[in-house]
Amino acid sequence: MIKNIDITEPYTSEVFEKLRAGDRVLLTGRVVVMRDSAQRRLLSLCEGGSNLPLNLKGTVVFYAGPAKEMAGAPIGAIGPTTSARMDKYLKFLYQQGVMATIGKGDRSELVETLNKEYRRVYFVAPSGVAAFLASRVERSEVVAFEDLGPEAIRLIEVHDFPLFVWIDAFGRKYRHP
């Protein structure tokens, strides 16, 4: 029987370093939602010497763009987006204190190297079940770059959000049996 590992905020290196590629996780806590447009803007602000509009230390970043909220729900359907195009921003995110990222799809060797160097984790969320994932979101608010619409940075609170460790904190990638 496969067991889920429960992880609850605050997120710590000690917890993430115990995870192994292939582990199944149920995450509970706050998650920052952003895609490449927001990451590009954050990097530009940082390079220009400006303060970031949010503190990323100790956070988990979910690469997603939620659909419009439905009546009575904190968020619309929210599924992972392809992560590979985010690889160029990953070192920046880790330098800001991000503990883990969530997305879908494989990532480059750079991610394996950075995960090992920073002891961080890359999770995949199940794709094709965006409505179900939305049911695990208890709260949602735009916290930066509202002008980006669905790509604005959001802070969501999730409960028992299902994830799968694809690349662990030692740079090991899940290999299909």
* 171 pLDDT above the threshold of 80: yes
- Look at residue 1 in the predicted model and tell me its pLDDT: 52
Give a yes or no: residue 177 inside a domain.
no
* 177 pLDDT above the threshold of 80: no
Give a yes or no: residue 23 inside a domain.
yes
Give a yes or no: residue 172 inside a domain.
no
> Range of 28's domain?
4-167
Give a yes or no: residue 73 inside a domain.
yes
Residue 34: which of 61, 68, 56, 67 has the closest Cα? 61
Q: What is the pLDDT of residues 89-142, one digit of tens each?
A: 999 999 999 999 999 999 999 999 999 999 999 999 988 899 999 999 999 999
**DSSP element (H, E) containing 5:** strand 4-8
Can you name the residues that pair with 162 across neighbouring β-strands?
26
Give a yes or no: residue 174 inside a domain.
no
Residue 20: which of 123, 91, 106 has the closest Cα? 123
Q: Encoding tokens for residue 156? A: 């969501």
- Look at residue 175 in the predicted model and tell me its pLDDT: 85
Give a yes or no: residue 173 inside a domain.
no
Give a yes or no: residue 176 inside a domain.
no
- Look at residue 75 in the predicted model and tell me its pLDDT: 93
* 2 pLDDT above the threshold of 80: no
- Look at residue 69 in the predicted model and tell me its pLDDT: 82
The four Cα atoms 106, 110, 111, 114 give a dihedral, to 10 degrees, of 170
CATH number of the domain at 105, please: 3.20.130.10
- Overall number of domains in the chain: 1
Query: What SS3 class is residue 73?
Result: coil
- Look at residue 128 in the predicted model and tell me its pLDDT: 86
Give a yes or no: residue 120 inside a domain.
yes
